Homo-oligomer: A and B are copies of this chain.
Amino acid sequence: MNNNLIEELIKALKKFPGVGEKSAWRYFFTLLNEEEGELEHFGDLLIRLKKEVKKCPSCGYLELGGRCEFCSDPYRDKSKIMVVSYIQDAMAIEKTGVYHGLYHVLDGVISSSKGTYPEDLNIDGLKKRLNEEVKEVIIATSPTIDGEMTAVYLDKILKKDGLLITRLAHGLPMGASLDYTDELTLIKAMDNRRKVDEENA
């Protein structure tokens, strides 16, 4: 019996993050119980994915033809660019509904352990976007060692008169209990403490 199709499908399913042998088989049986038409549709979506979903030539966000929904939106505030590591990060910020500027996706972080250097990231594209209209660059890399290093690097190379370079605040996450908070976060929260009457200003 030729089991190739099954084996290859299990192999493909195991590429999803966190999916091992057991989950792959559960997924396989889920697929096997689908209608044939549904599977053909799913297969077709995968085949079309790379052909139709591209990255915005300006900011690196997802787009399906031309520029992304932010860069092509005349109502977004073009004086602010938030620099994120990944498309998902921009999506998370966007869900808050309070940011109306543009984004720039680096597509990674500078990481000596992973061997990712500045030239591997979409930094040249960012520099090119910093025209007179841009007044603030908000660095929103994650508060990890690599994210911090990337932020420091960007701050250094982007610095110029008339451009404000900021970083998302570090501190206690809302709803956290102090005794479960790690030391580094507590230190950052103390360092960055604010006067109570400024807090909601």
Contact = CB atoms under 8 A, between A and B. Distances in A.
Contacts of A64: 1-3, 5-6
Contacts of A63: 1
A34 interface: yes
Contacts of A8: 41, 45
Given A1-B69, A1-B72, A31 B17 contact: no
B5 A48 contact: yes
Nearest to A86: B29
A134 interface: no
A38 B63 CA distance: 21
A57 interface: no
A39 B42 CA distance: 11
- Which of the listed residues A15, A29, A49 has the most CB atoms from chain B within 10 Å of its own CB? A49
Interface of A: 1-3, 5-6, 8-9, 12, 15-18, 23, 25-27, 29-32, 34, 36, 38-53, 62-65, 68-69, 72, 86-88, 91
